[in-house]
C-alpha cells in the first residue's frame, strides 16, 4: 500500500531555525532518505519551494489563467512530502516516526487510494 507523508511549515518557523543547525538537519534527513530508499519503501522525497513561489492555475475560456501565491491565506503550507510503499499502515507509521522532523512536529500520513499509470 502506498502512503503520502506530509510535513507542514511556515516561513517564520524556518527563519527561526538556527542557520548552524541546518547542515546537521539536512544530513539526518538525507540518511533517513537513503535508508528507506535502500529498503524500497521510500519511493520519493520532495521538498517544496516557499509558499511565495506557489501559483494558482485555473482554466478560463480554455486557456491557463495563472495567479501568484497559494490559494488559501494561511501561515502553514506544505513544505515537503514523501511517497512510501509499505506492507502495512503500522509499517508506514514506524517509518514516519523515524523522520528527523518528527521530533519537532507531527507529520500527516495519508493512504493513497488511487494511482494512475504514469506512462499513459
| pLDDT of the chain, 120 residues: tens digit per residue | 999 999 988 778 778 888 999 899 889 999 999 999 999 999 999 988 877 788 888 899 999 999 886 655 667 788 899 999 999 999 999 999 999 988 888 999 999 998 887 755
Hey, what's the cell of 77?
503550507
What pLDDT score does 73 carry? 62
Within-domain flag for 92: yes
Beta-ladder partners of 108 = 6
Within-domain flag for 19: yes
CATH number, domain containing residue 105:
3.30.70.1060
Within-domain flag for 8: yes
Which H or E element spans position 112?
none
Cβ count near 6 (within 10 Å): 15
Within-domain flag for 58: no
* Contacts of 37 by beta carbon, 8 Å cutoff, 6+ apart: none
d(C-alpha 84, C-alpha 91), whole Å: 10
Within-domain flag for 7: yes
Within-domain flag for 116: no
d(C-alpha 52, C-alpha 4), whole Å: 23
Question: Into how many domains does the chain fold?
Answer: 1
Residue pair 1/89 in contact (Cβ under 8 Å)? The answer is yes
Within-domain flag for 95: yes
Within-domain flag for 97: yes
What pLDDT score does 71 carry? 57
* 3-state secondary structure at position 118: coil
Domain that holds residue 94: 2-47+74-111
What pLDDT score does 119 carry? 59
* 3-state secondary structure at position 5: strand
Amino acid at each position: 500500500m502506498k502512503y503520502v507523508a506530509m510535513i507542514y511549515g511556515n516561513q517564520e518557523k524556518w527563519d527561526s531555525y538556527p542557520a548552524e543547525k541546518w547542515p546537521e538537519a539536512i544530513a539526518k534527513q538525507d540518511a533517513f532518505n537513503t535508508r528507506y530508499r535502500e529498503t524500497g519503501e521510500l519511493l520519493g522525497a520532495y521538498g517544496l519551494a516557499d509558499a511565495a513561489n506557489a501559483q494558482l492555475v485555473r482554466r478560463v475560456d480554455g486557456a491557463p489563467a495563472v495567479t501568484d501565491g497559494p490559494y488559501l491565506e494561511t501561515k502553514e503550507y506544505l513544505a515537503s512530502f514523501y511517497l512510501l510503499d509499505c506492507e502495512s499502515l503500522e509499517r508506514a507509521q514506524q517509518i514516519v516516526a523515524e523522520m528527523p522532523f518528527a521530533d519537532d512536529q507531527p507529520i500527516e500520513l495519508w493512504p493513497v487510494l488511487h494511482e494512475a499509470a504514469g506512462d499513459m
